[in-house]
């Protein structure tokens, strides 16, 4: 059975160039970058090269790049680090604001920040991509001390109006954190043009290694470290540095940005083909955030008259890797917060299916998926009506 | 053949899955997520029976088969947990596993199995399926009488029978454990689970206190009386009692006393000595016939009134909405709410819920007086 992988938003294959770049740092003696001797210096040099390359690609300063162990960690360091810093300053209860669509890393770290005196508030975004953005004046009036917003939504591909939000936050003097995990390499970020205080990135979503991430921390934004011992990454992420990982994520970012001009339109075409084909073949199918501006690699569908949680399994048995959107470890398939925010109670009437494309996705795969998926959906629809 | 096997993470369903793989089928594992353990007391915030799900997933990985999680929490809460609470609130002793098998587990497995293109549904129950001469599917007791779980399966929809497969039906528990070890399954030495899945700490009273309104009669103090009405003590709510229990009645009796009946209207708990626990007839309601047709009055069945008890001979007196059965020998501890499963030899004919037990003298007058039962613990089928 030929298999088709359409879950690149979950993770995407390691690029061979990345593996090649990392290889020298995964074998033999690789020094500790903190050591004074030649082996240490060599490791330090590779690490700092990776940092400088990353900074240049993201158009920020190299001392604004913190290498961390993944996108989730990057988010936690930003959200909880800011909460801890504010608490240390003794402000009492503070308000953190986020969009309702955020990934669980942001939602749950903000909830956890409740223990540090943070009250979480949200702003709405609708299915057409319109966000109820707070103005600078409102931010000040509400006592908001921190704002977090994703640039691209992980379930629908929707692009959120981050530049507009950055302007308002900047005018109010409120630091903005942006989860750009799904945005990097798919849409231009141009961090030199937008006053964004913190940006979180993940290596493996770019074809880089797992457990690598970046927190871009712009000058002038203070965070309190959450971990201690050794002072690496300017105190924010202590522990012996992962040189191979830093080299890997830098190379992955390099390749992603380098190919974006060609790759994003290619994925957008494939996505449009997949979308039109499935919507045409499966009656009643809704394209999540279909009217909004979307990143090219994600297609979120809602399919009516289906049980909510069998579709990814049924597709898997026929060789197709896809997901229902976000699922917790135990496989629960409650309606996701994103879809709940976009569609309200109406979300529960549609089984979610997220197909996401990546650098290995070919036209043959899309064609094959278009041939295979509609009959599987039809079979499930028929079987759902068999017993009750 | 593509077979969907329900995997709880326990040793039985793990071996069932392994046997199917050995038989050469295309096996798909599934774990039903029935209940969110967040609700039950405990310091760890592990979500949704995560351990069982992860165990099942590890076994599936080991066997090289796909594994999926089916979320049936909503259906389970509605059809099983709510019923469990309602039954206790009315002074009866429910069989939640029977309820789950009949209403939730098997129906859902079938529905999702069909969606996944599966031809058969398998579970780790100790029961057997046999195709009779006329092509009819018969559900038989498991060969290991200690473990036999046919009792829990009387509520299955008849249309499901031809699709069922019980790989463990011909095996004994020791054989199954041995097989698990041979296969190197991580779950081989997992202890037998004793409690019903949604009350993992076994504290039914505490569970009912969380589920019922604070002022529900079942949680209010009442009196302990003898069957002649004499008050012999008090209690802190009849939800704390199970018919047939001896423990917790306090001392002061010249010989052992047992709970004979719970009267929700007056909040009385009736107690009495062993001999008052006997019943000669019982009404069984909410019946389901796996045979398609009910037995005819005048016939005889072997009826099992609790897990691990043998079937006892009983005459079928009446059959309509329910069934009236007369035991050949009076039976101890016939508990309202519990299941009565009816057999002809090895074959499960059907069953129902015990509505009330009739004592020897009362049944002669056809005026039911009290139910009686014995089960310190609610039997579960896994």
What confidence tens digit (pLDDT) does each residue in B247-306 have?
A: 777 667 788 899 999 999 999 999 999 889 899 999 999 999 999 888 999 999 999 999
A376 and A264 part of one domain: yes
CB-closest option in B50, B71, B116 to A314 = B116
Cβ–Cβ of B117/A317 closer than 8 Å? yes
Give the per-residue pLDDT at B43. 40
Q: CA A211, CA A213: separation in Å to the nearest integer? A: 7
Residue B99 pLDDT > 80:
yes
pTM here is: 0.84
> For position A242, what pLDDT does the model report?
97
Residue A50 has pLDDT above 50, yes or no: yes
- pLDDT at position B48: 46
| pLDDT value, residue A332 | 54
Residues 6 or more apart whose CB falls under 8 angstroms from that of A136 comprise A168, A169, A170, A171, A172
Residues A287 and A327 in one domain: yes
Helix, strand, or coil (residue A164): helix
Tell me the domains of chain B and their CATH numbers: 2-182 (3.40.50.620), 219-275 (2.30.30.280), 277-365 (2.40.30.10)
Query: CB of B243 within 8 Å of any CB in chain A?
Result: no
Lowest average pLDDT, out of A146-150, A265-269, A339-343, goes to A339-343
Q: Measure in Å the smallest separation between the Cα of A330 and chain B Cα atoms.
A: 6
Contacting B residues, span 289-328, partner chain A, CB-CB under 8 Å: none
Structure tokens at B205: 């009273």
pLDDT exceeds 60 at position B369:
no
Residue B37: pLDDT band by 50, 70, 90 thresholds?
low
Residue A10 reports pLDDT greater than 70:
yes
User: Among A237, A255, A273, which residue terminates a domain?
Assistant: A255
For chain B positions 93-132, those within 8 Å of chain A (CB to CB) are 107, 110-112, 114-117
pLDDT in tens, B157-183: 999 999 999 999 999 999 999 999 998
Residue B370 has pLDDT above 60, yes or no: no
- Chain B residue numbers touching A330 (CB-CB < 8 A): 33, 47-50, 53, 69
Mutate to test the interface with A, among B115, B118, B121 (most CBs of A within 10 A): B115
Residues A251 and A264 in one domain: no
Boundary residue ending a domain (A223, A255, A287): A255
Whether residue A107 is found in the same domain as residue A86? yes
Q: Is residue B129 pLDDT above 60, yes or no?
A: yes
Chain B partners within 8 Å of A104 (Cβ): none
Do A184 and A300 lie in one domain? The reply is: no
Nearest-angstrom CA–CA distance, A70 and A246: 11
Residues 6+ apart with CB under 8 A from A317: B2, B28, B66, B116, B117
Residue A239 shares a structural domain with residue A312 = no
Residues A299 and A211 in one domain: no
- Nearest residue on chain A to B69, alpha-carbon basis: A331
Run of H or E residues at A75: helix A71-89
pLDDT score recorded for residue A231: 92
To the nearest whole Å, the CA of A266 is away from the closest chain B CA by 33
Which residue range is the domain that position A204 belongs to? Answer: 16-255
Percent of chain B clearing pLDDT 70 (strictly above): 89
CATH code of residue A55: 3.40.640.10
Best A305, A308, A313 member to test B by mutation, with max B CBs in 10 Å, is A313
Residues A157 and A276 in one domain: no
Confidence of residue B51 (pLDDT cuts 50, 70, 90): confident
pLDDT per residue as tens digits for the range A56-110: 999 999 999 999 999 999 999 999 999 999 999 987 899 999 999 999 999 999 9
- B36 pLDDT band (50/70/90 cuts)? low
Q: Do A227 and A239 touch, CB atoms closer than 8 A?
A: yes
Query: Best of A111, A331, A375, A381 to disrupt the B interface by mutation (most B CBs within 10 Å)?
Result: A331
Same domain, A294 and A354: yes
Cross-chain residue pair A387–B157, CB shorter than 8 Å: yes
Query: Looking at the structure, do residues A78 and A126 belong to the same domain, yes or no?
Result: yes
Better-scored residue on pLDDT, B355 or B202: B355
Span B370-376, average pLDDT? 38
- Give the domain CATH number at A302: 3.90.1150.10
A316, closest residue in chain B (CA to CA): B66
Question: Do residue A278 and residue A193 come from a single domain?
Answer: no
CA terminus-to-terminus distance, chain A: 33
Same domain for A46 and A184: yes
B36 assigned to active site: no
How much is the CA Rg of chain A, to the nearest whole Å?
A: 22
**What pLDDT band is residue B375 in, cutting at 50, 70 and 90?**
very low
pLDDT at B194 (0 to 100): 66
Q: Does A169 participate in catalysis according to the annotation?
A: no
- Averaged confidence pLDDT in chain B: 87
**Interchain pair A333, B71: CB under 8 A:** yes
Looking at the 3D structure of chain A, how many domains does it have?
2
């Amino acid at each position: 059975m030929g298999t088709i992988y359409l879950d690149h938003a979950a993770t995407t294959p390691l690029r061979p160039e990345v593996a090649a770049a990392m290889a020298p740092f995964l074998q033999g003696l690789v020094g500790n970058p903190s050591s004074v001797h030649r082996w240490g210096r060599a490791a330090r040099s590779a690490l700092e090269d990776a940092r400088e390359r990353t900074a240049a690609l993201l158009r920020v300063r190299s001392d604004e790049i913190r290498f961390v162990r993944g996108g989730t960690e990057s988010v936690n360091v930003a959200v909880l680090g800011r909460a801890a810093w504010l608490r240390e300053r003794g402000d009492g209860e503070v308000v953190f604001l986020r969009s309702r669509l955020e990934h669980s890393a942001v939602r749950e770290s903000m909830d956890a920040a409740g223990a540090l005196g943070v009250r979480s508030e949200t702003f709405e975004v609708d299915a057409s991509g319109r966000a109820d953005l707070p103005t600078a004046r409102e931010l000040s009036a509400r006592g908001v001390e921190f704002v977090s917003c994703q640039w691209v939504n992980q379930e629908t591909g929707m692009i959120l109006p981050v530049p507009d939000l950055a302007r308002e936050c900047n005018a109010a003097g409120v630091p903005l954190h942006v989860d750009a995990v799904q945005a990097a390499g798919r849409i231009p970020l141009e961090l030199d043009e937008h006053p964004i205080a913190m940006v979180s990135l993940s290596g493996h979503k770019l074809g880089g290694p797992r457990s690598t991430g970046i927190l871009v921390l712009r000058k002038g934004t203070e965070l309190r470290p959450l971990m201690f011992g050794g002072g690496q990454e300017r105190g924010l992420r202590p522990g012996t540095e992962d040189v191979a990982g830093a080299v890997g994520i830098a190379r992955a970012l390099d390749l992603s940005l380098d190919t974006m001009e060609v790759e994003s339109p290619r994925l957008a075409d494939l996505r449009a083909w997949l979308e039109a084909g499935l919507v045409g073949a499966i009656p009643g199918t809704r394209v999540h955030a279909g009217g909004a501006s979307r990143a090219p690699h994600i297609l979120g569908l809602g399919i009516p008259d289906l049980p909510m949680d069998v579709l990814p399994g049924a597709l898997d048995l026929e060789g197709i890797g896809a997901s229902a959107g976000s699922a917790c470890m135990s496989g629960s398939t409650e309606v996701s917060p994103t879809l709940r925010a976009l569609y309200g109670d109406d979300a529960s009437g549609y089984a979610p299916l997220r197909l996401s494309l990546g650098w290995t996705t070919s036209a043959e795969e899309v064609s094959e998926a278009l041939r295979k998926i509609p009959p599987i959906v039809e079979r499930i629809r028929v079987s759902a009506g068999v017993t009750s | 053949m593509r077979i969907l096997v329900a995997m709880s993470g326990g040793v039985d369903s793990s071996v069932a899955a392994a046997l199917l793989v050995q038989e050469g089928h295309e096996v798909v594992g599934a774990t039903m997520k029935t209940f969110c353990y967040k609700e039950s007391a405990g310091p760890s915030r592990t979500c949704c029976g995560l351990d069982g799900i992860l165990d099942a997933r590890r076994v599936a990985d080991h066997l090289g088969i796909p594994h999926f999680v089916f979320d049936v929490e909503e259906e389970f809460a509605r059809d099983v947990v709510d019923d469990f609470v309602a039954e206790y609130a009315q002074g009866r002793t429910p069989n939640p596993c029977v309820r789950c098998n009949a209403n939730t587990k098997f129906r859902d497995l079938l529905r999702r199995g069909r969606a996944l293109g599966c031809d058969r549904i398998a579970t780790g129950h100790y029961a057997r399926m046999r195709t009779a001469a006329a092509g009819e599917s018969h559900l038989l007791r498991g060969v290991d009488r200690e473990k036999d779980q046919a009792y829990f399966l009387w509520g299955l929809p008849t249309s499901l029978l031809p699709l069922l497969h019980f790989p463990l039906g011909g095996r004994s528990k020791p054989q199954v454990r041995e097989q698990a070890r041979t296969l190197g399954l991580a779950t081989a030495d997992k202890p037998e689970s004793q409690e019903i899945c949604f009350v993992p700490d076994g504290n039914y009273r505490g569970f009912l206190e969380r589920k019922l309104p604070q002022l529900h009669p079942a949680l209010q103090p009442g009196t302990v009386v003898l069957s002649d009405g004499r008050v012999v003590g008090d209690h802190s709510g009849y939800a704390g009692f199970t018919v047939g229990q001896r423990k917790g009645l306090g001392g002061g009796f010249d010989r052992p006393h047992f709970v004979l009946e719970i009267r929700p209207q007056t909040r009385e708990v009736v107690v009495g000595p062993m001999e008052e626990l006997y019943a000669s007839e019982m009404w069984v309601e909410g019946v389901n016939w796996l045979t398609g047709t009910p037995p005819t009055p005048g016939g005889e069945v072997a009826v099992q009134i609790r897990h691990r008890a043998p079937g006892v001979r009983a005459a079928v007196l009446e059959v309509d909405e329910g069934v009236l059965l007369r035991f050949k020998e009076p039976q101890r501890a016939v508990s309202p709410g519990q299941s009565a499963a009816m057999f002809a030899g090895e074959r499960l004919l059907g069953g129902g819920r015990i509505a009330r037990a009739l004592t020897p003298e009362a049944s002669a007058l056809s005026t039911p007086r009290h139910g009686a039962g014995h089960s310190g613990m609610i039997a579960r089928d896994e």
